[in-house]
Amino acid sequence: MPRTLLLLVPLLTATLAAAPATAQMMKSPAVPEPGTPDKVVPLAKGQVQLSFAPVVKRAAPSVVNVYASHVDTRGQSRSAMDEFMRRFFGDNGGGRGRGGAPGERAQKSLGSGVIVDESGLVITNNHVIENMNEVRIALADRREFEATIVLRDPRTDLAVVKIKSPSGGLIPMAFGDSESLEVGDFVMAIGNPFGVGQTVTQGIVSALARTQVGSSDYQFFIQTDAAINPGNSGGALVNLQGQLVGINTAIYSQSGGSHGIGFAIPASMVRAVVETAKGGATAVRRPWLGARVQSVTPDIAESMGLDHPTGVLVASLQAKSPAEEAGLKRGDLILTVDGKSVDDPEAFGYRFALKGLSGQTQFGILRGTGRSTVSVKLSPAPETRPRETLKVRTRSPFLGATLMNTSPAVAEELQADFPADGVAVASVDEGSIAARAGLQKGDMIVAINGLPVATTKDLERITRNSLNMWEVSINRGGEVMTSMFGG
| pLDDT for 8 | 28
Q: E strands within 284-387? A: 291-295, 312-317, 333-337, 340-341, 360-367, 370-377
| pLDDT for 32 | 53
In DSSP notation, 92-129 reads: GGTT--GGG-TTEEEEEEEEEEEE-STT-EEEEEHHHH
The three state secondary structure string of 49-94 is: CCCCHHHHHHHHHHEEEEEEEEEEECCCCCCHHHHHHHHHHCHHHC
| pLDDT for 43 | 81
Residue segments in the chain with a per-residue pLDDT below the cut of 70:
1-37, 72-107, 212-218, 252-259, 419-420, 487
- Diameter of the chain measured on Cα atoms: 102
Whole-number Å distance between alpha carbons of 188 and 177: 15
Alpha helices in 149-282 (DSSP H): 267-278
Which helix (DSSP H) or strand (DSSP E) does residue 13 occupy?
helix 3-27
Between 345-353 and 267-278, two packed helices, what is the crossing angle to 10 degrees?
40
In DSSP notation, 403-421 reads: EEE--HHHHHHHT--SS-S
| pLDDT for 214 | 59
Whole-number Å distance between alpha carbons of 63 and 55: 13
156 DSSP 8-state letter: T
Residues 6+ apart with CB under 8 A from 249: 125, 157, 215, 216, 221, 233, 234, 263, 264, 265
Contact status, residue 262 vs residue 248, Cβ threshold 8 Å: yes
Strands 423-428 and 444-448 come out as antiparallel
First to last CA, the chain: 74
Length of the chain: 487
Active-site residues, by number, are 127, 157, 233
| pLDDT for 6 | 30
With the CA atoms of 411, 414, 417 and 420 taken in that order, what torsion angle do they form, in degrees rounded to the nearest 10?
A: -60
